[in-house]
Copies of this chain bind each other. A is one copy, B any other.
Amino acid sequence: LADATDVVGGHGGGKIAEQDGSVADLGEWGVIAALQARMPKGLSTMVGIGDDAAVVSTPSGSVVAAVDQMIEGRHFRHDWSSAYDVGVKAAARSLADIAAMGAANTALLVALAVPGTLPASWATALADGIAAEAVRAGAGVVGGDTARAGSVTISVTALGELRGREPVRRSGARPGDVVAVAGLLGHSAAGLALLTAGLAAPAGPAAPAEPAPSAGLARLVTAHLRPAPPYDAGPEAARLGATAMIDVSDGLLADLGHVAAASGASIDIATSALPADPALIEAAAAVSAARPGAALEWQLTGGEDHALIATFPPLTRLPPRWRVLGEVRPGSGVTVDGKPHPGRPGWQHFRP
């Protein structure tokens, strides 16, 4: 499995390995064969790509499933994201949802709509990104569909396995529980701010470009282009007895708001518990348009890092990667240091 991303045109012969032409030149079957050759099979896969449907093992007697999509011009820009970056991010968004239920990822299905004029090498680099992130999460790629469209849309369905544990839902947080996070907060938002301000070059392997101002800032840009959710922290939280969990896709406060609402409780975050993150502080200083406190703002409201936030009973001994940020209280809503946080809470795709 670990070598899956190194497979180049192993299935379908020499023509496919070249990828000189466009997707239309290669034809649907050529594209499918080239994409398929790059995909990891997966340890849970009983029937993989190539039949009417896949069959995936679910020894616990249930399957966890989520779908998410990435759309050109909406979720990524070709001048910032390489095809590989887009593949990683498209996979990560769905894989993180499975982890946030406390489940282990087992399989992905990918629906890909692309213009016929798209270089075939872009499509295969996208597949390499999807494959690499699937391998990192322990999942195979078991099915897909390709079609032609005016712009690129990638829809990824992830399947997961609870391994005998109950799913960790959003609704189980109880007053007295602690709130803890595994993974990065605010890095993706800071990376986006650097890209928007023209202060950093994209870092994708297909677009090496000029070096970013510093290694710290470059890491923020990479965090935006290729998020790396801590997938195994999801099943770990379930084992530790997490009462509720969600991944940070819209922002810490917005996503904690979903947990608070579903649980019928309030959640308070202590800013003193958030790490003083040197890279965020450097980025805040670099982005001239940033308000004072930008580093904290990114941590509280920046989405797309896909960190996992979970609530645990008060005396739970947490491994070091879980950082306690606050606590669950009676009431409703989310507060910061006991006070409502000003500003917009979340992200709305249909409103500017």
Among A139-147, A203-211, A272-280, A326-334, which stretch is in contact with chain B?
Answer: A139-147
- Chain B nearest Cβ from A172, distance in angstroms: 11
Given contacts A29-B348, A52-B97, contact A155 B73 (CB under 8 A): no
The reply on A31 being an interface residue by CB < 8 A is yes
The chain B residue with its CB closest to the CB of A308 is B52
The chain B residue with its CB closest to the CB of A153 is B153
- A98 to B52: give the CA distance in the assembly, Å: 7
- Tell me the residues in window 31-79 of chain A with beta carbons closer than 8 Å to chain B beta carbons: 31, 46-47, 50-59, 61-69, 71, 73-75
Among A12-20, A107-115, A176-184, A215-223, which stretch is in contact with chain B?
Answer: A107-115
Contact at B57–A62, with CB atoms within 8 Å? yes
Contact at A62–B74, with CB atoms within 8 Å? no
Contact at A348–B55, with CB atoms within 8 Å? no
Contact at B149–A74, with CB atoms within 8 Å? yes
Question: A350 is contacted by which of B46, B111, B116, B171 (Cβ under 8 Å)?
Answer: B116
The reply on A159 being an interface residue by CB < 8 A is yes
The reply on A169 being an interface residue by CB < 8 A is yes
Residues of B within 8 A of A110 (CB): 67
The reply on A23 being an interface residue by CB < 8 A is yes
Contact at A28–B348, with CB atoms within 8 Å? yes
The chain B residue with its CB closest to the CB of A44 is B62
- A169 to B147: give the CA distance in the assembly, Å: 24
Residues of B within 8 A of A159 (CB): 63, 65
Contact at B65–A109, with CB atoms within 8 Å? yes
Interface residues of A (CB under 8 A from B): 23-24, 26-29, 31, 46-47, 50-59, 61-69, 71, 73-75, 97-98, 100-101, 103, 107, 109-111, 113, 116, 142-151, 153, 155, 157-160, 162, 167, 169-171, 245-247, 262, 348-351
Q: What are 16 inter-chain pairs, A to B, with CB distance below 8 A?
A: A51-B262, A52-B246, A53-B65, A55-B63, A56-B65, A57-B61, A57-B62, A63-B63, A66-B143, A68-B145, A69-B113, A74-B148, A111-B111, A111-B155, A146-B350, A153-B155
